[in-house]
Structure 1
């Protein structure tokens, strides 16, 4: 017991703990644990350099402090990517429409967005015309018109996603009534973001393809169709 007390009360234990933290960090595949172990190891080195000599080794302490501090921005970034902490209730509600996004990707997506409340009736998409924006309905109050048929749209529906993915004109006309709220993304900015980040490009493509599949699953053909006659 005396040996253990002398060991842990001495400066040598700090350097051993620092090396152990560095080894554990290098052995893990999880970036947050890696950064946490490196930060903790640097703190133990600071304690070692403070107590090992009669006077603190300030140059070594300063170097270890810089190494420890360099991990903090990365730890903060990882935390932001994996946590919804700090999101408003409105953002948390919108996040439900991005099930395959992590919180960091959602924040990156919303950094390019504009949340709009329509003061008057406004046409967002016109059938056959190339759209300039991708939209997400945030409330009720949207009307879809296609081939002289109309249907109401509620919150959580992407608009213009087919044109965005495949090009060409909008497949329907969509109008927002006064008081309706929606999110808008400039298509040029979205395409630039996707070109600069393969992870964002994959996430956006998967999201919009799932939205299209969901809409097809609950839609019905507006006109009956006949099978071609069988040749005998």
Structure 2
């Protein structure tokens, strides 16, 4: 005769649920709910088996694991390519999940034309935000000409202030950059306000850093 009382599994499962509901972190809560469900399944086997309850619990576990996967993708760079991970480093105010949403409306472009690609034209309207991923772009502003290395945004002033481009920027052959259409980004920001706030924070920070640099004697303004 077994000395183990299956009813103890009910208390264990309930205890795990109580601990989970006391935790604010959704990832930990989901994990504890899944473990609790497995404990209840063990109980249903021990006293039955009660197939209806077992199947129902398994379905609940499946849904729970699906949500767990979404939470993990929201918080980690799992399944991002090396290039996407490198680009994500430039968006430190965004969560991995927010970055993935922004990435869906991004275009990766490698310049192949001999004359290069014109990104912005000084004092002309712009409707695209750029990030120089590899190589140096060429900036012309108020009769000054200088290089803009990889790791810089182009068009962030126009995007943040909804104004005309403050400089002419060209991407020579071989330069690789990422482009976002303004309308797509703004629709995304309306749909996901936290993402919009995080993106504006990042671009405003970039703009502030460039304006600070521009006050150094002999250093041209590189915000475009």
| TM-score, normalised via structure 2 length | 0.91
For 1:101 and 1:196, the matched residues in 2 are separated by: 15
Provide the residue aligned with 2:109 in structure 1: 116
Q: 2:37 aligns with which of 36, 42, 45?
A: 42
Among 52, 60, 66, which residue is 2:53 paired with?
60
| Alignment map for 1:154-173 (pairs within 5 Å) | 154-173=149-168
Q: How big is each residue's C-alpha offset from its partner over 1:148-180, in whole Å with a ceiling of 9 and x where there is no partner?
A: 101101111111111111112101110000110
Q: How does 1:131-142 map to 2 (within 5 A)?
A: 131-142=126-137
Does structure 1 residue 93 correspond to structure 2 residue 86? Answer: yes
Q: Highest relative contact order (Cα 8 Å, sep 6+), 1 or 2?
A: 2
Within 2, Cα distance between the matches of 1:26 and 1:138? 44
Q: Which residue of 2 aligns with 1:193?
A: 188
1:104 aligned residue: 97
What RMSD, in angstroms, separates the aligned Cα atoms of the two structures?
1.6
Runs of 5+ consecutive residues of structure 2 not aligned to the other structure: 219-224
For the structure 1 residues 219 and 94, does the alpha-carbon distance in structure 2 shift closer, same or farther, using more than 3 Å as the test? same
Displacement of 1:30: 0.5
Q: What are the ranges of 5 or more consecutive residues in structure 1 without an aligned counterpart?
A: 224-232
* Aligned-partner SS, 2:214: coil
User: Residues 112 and 173 of structure 2 are in contact (CA less than 8 Å); yes or no, is this contact kept in structure 1?
Assistant: yes
Residue in structure 1 matching 2:67, options 74, 78, 85: 74
C-alpha displacement of 1:71: 0.9
Distance 2:172 2:217 in 1: 24
- 4+ runs deviating over 2 angstroms: 220-223
C-alpha deviation, 1:17, in angstroms: 1.4
Please give the secondary structure, in 2, of the residue aligned with 1:138. Answer: strand
Question: How many positions carry a matched residue from both structures?
Answer: 215
Give the alignment of 1:213-232 within 5 angstroms: 213-220=208-215
Match of residue 146, structure 2, among 123, 147, 151: 151
TM-score, structure 1 length as denominator? 0.88
> Counterpart of 2:185 in 1: which secondary structure?
helix
Match for residue 122 of structure 2 among 127, 140, 154: 127
The structure with the larger Rg is 1
Could you tell me whether the CA contact under 8 Å between 1:139 and 1:182 is conserved in 2? Answer: yes
Deviations 1:103-156 (A, max 9, x none): 111111111111100002111000111112100000122011111101101111
SS at match of 2:169: strand
